[in-house]
Homo-oligomer: A and B are copies of this chain.
């Protein structure tokens, strides 16, 4: 870092903390900040602090919110269907599709024995409480289709099924617009197994 004067070196160091940002990219970002007007840089910095200060997690579902309760939970959407996701950003992905009209539950993580993340480290208890309060017909497990996401979905379904609630999982299959040639064997096998009448 000794080629950079102190304030630039520090900023490069901060930018390096962002996901996927290495030294070179952090340098480019820092140079961009230097070439901004003072007002622009201030606006940038304020957005960072503001975001951290104003963004909280919904007391009910764990989604991003500025209030106690998020927009989705406080809307009139039916609470009989809960879609369970790993992160708040997954809620945004689901909402962008504009097909789902139920509510969410954000786990803030998935079970990972290797990383020492157990059921008490993610929001499983909160989900059980919501189901126990009644009025829930279906819980859709929308964790990622990987080992940890699958294990988490399986674990939660075993807890919820005895409570008389239907637990479902997002379908596995070929991505729309994908090509058979480039689809991995496991996905293709799943797509074949779950084939449907046309």
Q: Residues of A with Cβ closer than 8 Å to B?
A: 3-8, 10-11, 13-14, 17-20, 24-25, 27-34, 36, 38, 40-55, 64-66, 71, 87-89, 92, 95-96, 182
Q: How far is the CA of A182 from the CA of B25 in the complex (A)?
A: 11
Are B55 and A32 within 8 A (Cβ)? no
- CA gap between A43 and B15 in the complex, in Å: 11
B residues less than 8 Å from A182 (CB atoms): 24
CB distance from A73 to the nearest CB of B (A): 13
Question: Main SS of the interface on chain A?
Answer: helix
Chain B residues near A19: list those with CB within 8 A. Answer: 28-29, 32
In the complex, chain B residues whose CB is within 8 Å of the CB of A46: 45
Chain B residues near A8 (CB, 8 Å)?
51, 55, 64
Please give, as numbers and ranges, the residues of chain B lying within 8 Å of A30 by CB-CB distance.
Answer: 51
Q: Are A66 and B3 in contact (CB under 8 A)?
A: no
Q: How far is the CA of A36 from the CA of B20 in the complex (A)?
A: 16
Q: Contacts A24-B182, A41-B49 given; indicate if A55 touches B29 (C-beta within 8 A).
A: no
Please, how many angstroms separate the alpha-carbon atoms of A51 and B6 in the complex?
A: 9
